[in-house]
Amino acid sequence: MLGGTAPPIVPSPGFADRLRALFDEAWRRARRRRLLVAGALIAAMGVAVGLSVALGDRPPVPEAPVVPAPAALALPKDPGMGVACREANSVACDRIGIAVWLDSVPQRLVATVDGRSVALRDAHIVCGRERSCPRLYQGELQPAGLLDGALKVTPDEGRYRWFGRHPVAGTLTITATYRDGSRAVATRRVPLNPGWG
């Protein structure tokens, strides 16, 4: 057959079907391999993430600065608390006045009763040159808990009139913060007076 043309190749009957079946099987195998590889990659990533979380693969949390425990606050006189509603002997306004005397001068002074706090202010009372006296700090706390809290009073007359016949006392915590950042704290059980001022 030199110089001649080759006879045409004639596929046998069913050859195209066998060829198509062969390619279909190859595509199914390739798809299965791709799915297995993708599944393995997803599983590996899940394991890696799980291990990093479990082993604490996070940036370290900086430690909080050590704050020294507050010192004991010296109180030269016992603190005072009294009902401070405009109407005498009424507890309807649920307000109390708080008075604290100190020999020191804090930058900030806070009084707390039953988790409720108020900043106290210097009353600027001066005793004179011949004698020294502690500084008076005052503040009003509202709501104070006269109707529903730790200072709840039992009225002596009507719904809101209280003359002090049923005594009430509360735990008063005083926190002084000084310019250098130091703090001092005092806690006292203080009787509540039916009047203020």
pLDDT (tens, 9 = 90+) of the chain, 197 residues, equals 556 676 666 666 676 677 777 777 878 888 888 888 888 888 888 887 777 766 665 566 677 777 678 889 999 999 999 999 999 899 999 999 999 999 889 999 999 998 999 999 998 877 766 667 888 999 999 999 999 888 999 999 999 999 999 999 999 999 999 999 899 999 999 999 998 86
Answer whether residue 2 is part of any domain. no
Q: What is the pLDDT of residue 119?
A: 95
Whole-number Å distance between alpha carbons of 172 and 123? 19
How many structural domains comprise the chain? 2
Q: What is the pLDDT of residue 82?
A: 95
Q: Which of 40, 62, 84 is the last residue of a domain?
A: 62
Q: Are residues 22 and 117 in the same domain?
A: no
Q: What is the pLDDT of residue 120?
A: 95
Answer whether residue 5 is part of any domain. no
Q: Are residues 120 and 149 in the same domain?
A: yes
Q: What is the pLDDT of residue 95?
A: 95
Answer whether residue 45 is part of any domain. yes
Q: Are residues 115 and 98 in the same domain?
A: yes
Answer whether residue 3 is part of any domain. no
